[in-house]
């Protein structure tokens, strides 16, 4: 079994509805995102998936969030754009894009600071 990870980032604003503190006010982060994929078979050039392809698909998803007020994004109309929900959103958007490559997305980690991260992990 092989596992690959790539990282990227995006900048966005958000606020947490009904949060008892400063995060209830609009604020921004430079979100760091790491994804992990897993697979058993290497392709014809002996790689699991080209890092270039993995990064391209991650960037496509992150571009939807970049420089946005996440509370105005359709995915977060009825739920808070917390790190946890952002990780799940990225996972659900990215997983289908990677299926044709024969790899499985297993984890998306979103960090709003260097010391505060949340992951969505395939069950």
Which active-site residues does the annotation give?
A: 23, 67, 112
Tell whether 14 is in a known binding site: yes
Q: How many other C-beta atoms are found inside a 10 Å radius of the C-beta of residue 102? A: 14
Candidates 81, 90, 74, 85; CA nearest to 8 is 90
| 29 appears as a binding residue in the annotation | yes
73 is in an annotated binding site: no
Dig out the tokens for 74 from the structure.
């359709």
Residue from 105, 107, 104 nearest 121 by CA: 107
Count CB-CB contacts under 10 A for residue 9: 14
Strand partners, 109: 34, 119
Binding-site residues, in ranges, read 14, 27, 29
Binding-site residues for Zn(2+), in ranges, read 14, 27, 29
């Amino acid at each position: 079994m092989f596992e690959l990870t790539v990282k990227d980032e995006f900048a966005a604003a958000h606020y947490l509805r009904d949060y008892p503190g400063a995060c209830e006010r609009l604020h921004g982060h430079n979100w760091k995102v790491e994804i992990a994929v897993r697979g058993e078979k290497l392709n014809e050039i002996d790689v699991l998936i080209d890092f270039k392809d993995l990064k391209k698909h991650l960037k496509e998803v992150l571009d939807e969030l970049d420089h946005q007020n996440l509370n105005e994004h359709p995915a977060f109309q009825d739920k808070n754009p917390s790190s946890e929900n952002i990780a799940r959103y990225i996972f659900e958007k990215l997983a289908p894009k990677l299926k044709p490559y024969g790899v499985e997305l297993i984890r998306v980690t979103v960090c709003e600071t260097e010391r505060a991260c949340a992951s969505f992990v395939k069950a």
